[in-house]
Amino acid sequence: MKTKFQDLNLSNYFLFAAAAEDEETSRLLVETLLGIEVGRVKVHIEHSILYNSDFRSLRLDIFMSDEVEVRYNMEMENEGREALPQRSRFHQAEMDVMSLGPGQSMSELKPVYVVFICTFDPFGRGRYRYTFENRCVEEDFPLEDGATRVFLSTKGKNHAEVPEELVNLLYYIEDSTESCVSRTNDAVVRKLHERVQELKRSRTWEGRYMMFEELLLEHERKGIKQGLEQGREEGLEQGLEKGREQGIEQGREEATARILRLIKEMTIAGEADQILRLEQEPEFLVAMIEKYHL
């Protein structure tokens, strides 16, 4: 059953991205989750989840107050998917490629943070935060290539070894309620909750969420059907299950990419005020898809 927009936790991809579009919210998230100071923050909206084909990633280009550019890629993970370390490697490589223009030297690569916020323990060691940097194996000194990968877990147990603010924020991400705010009595959590409540009161954001959910569900159903057909052709029960899983994933990814490209094109064209009609008027959705050749 689909969760109502007002009942979402910050662990939801859509709500997390919507909240992080606010620059002060992004600053609070980065500083608290990573334990660093970032100063003045600038979020590039075109790199947010709402225009990202993965629908799980939130890329934030953040500029520090000392004018040193640092890039952050944040990904909310609610399922224990395989190969998270490899995914972090891929994201880092993607960010590096995007950060260099033609003719730029490798020495101009900016520091990057790849961050996974998990509602499970990705390594099973009971930590709230796992931080990885490249180091020399033989003599244990840092490579200092500017790349840091961080995995956060809401299921950590080493409370005494991390800041109280980090624990409170991770609790709130999984339980974004007034009762959690009252229990933690944390200033950062309170500010984040104010932002979340503001979003949940917005009919515009609620409409966008409903549109995404409905359209993704429709394409997911198509993906299931395609997957079952593929499985039947294989003639094995195992093939059916495999086909079903592949169909769901393929259908969701294709639907997400198409919808987000449409919203981006409409926003660029100055038609953002018409986005809500996509969910309310199927004919309008079809017309816009044809208009932007999607």
In 100-127, which positions are buried (b, 16+ CB within 10 angstroms) versus exposed (e)?
eeeeeeeeebeebbbbbbbbebbeeeeb
| pLDDT tier at 49, thresholds 50, 70, 90 | very low
Higher pLDDT, 43 or 189: 189
pLDDT (mean) for 216-226: 60
pLDDT (mean) for 277-287: 73
* Average pLDDT score, the chain: 80
Higher pLDDT, 4 or 130: 130
Among 20, 28, 4, 44, CA closest to 190: 28
> What local confidence, expressed as pLDDT, does residue 110 receive?
86
**Distance in angstroms (rounded) separating the CA atoms of residues 144 and 113:** 13
Q: What is the CA radius of gyration of the chain?
A: 21
**Distance in angstroms (rounded) separating the CA atoms of residues 51 and 100:** 21
Predicted TM-score (pTM) of the model is: 0.72
**Distance in angstroms (rounded) separating the CA atoms of residues 28 and 114:** 17
Higher pLDDT, 201 or 81: 201
Instruction: Enumerate residues 6+ apart whose C-beta is below 8 A from 15.
Output: 5, 8, 9, 176, 196, 199, 209
> What local confidence, expressed as pLDDT, does residue 220 receive?
60
Classify 148 as helix, strand or coil. Answer: strand
Higher pLDDT, 37 or 66: 37
In 54-79, which positions are buried (b, 16+ CB within 10 angstroms) versus exposed (e)?
bbbbbbbbbbbeeeeebbbbbbbbbe
> What local confidence, expressed as pLDDT, does residue 46 receive?
44
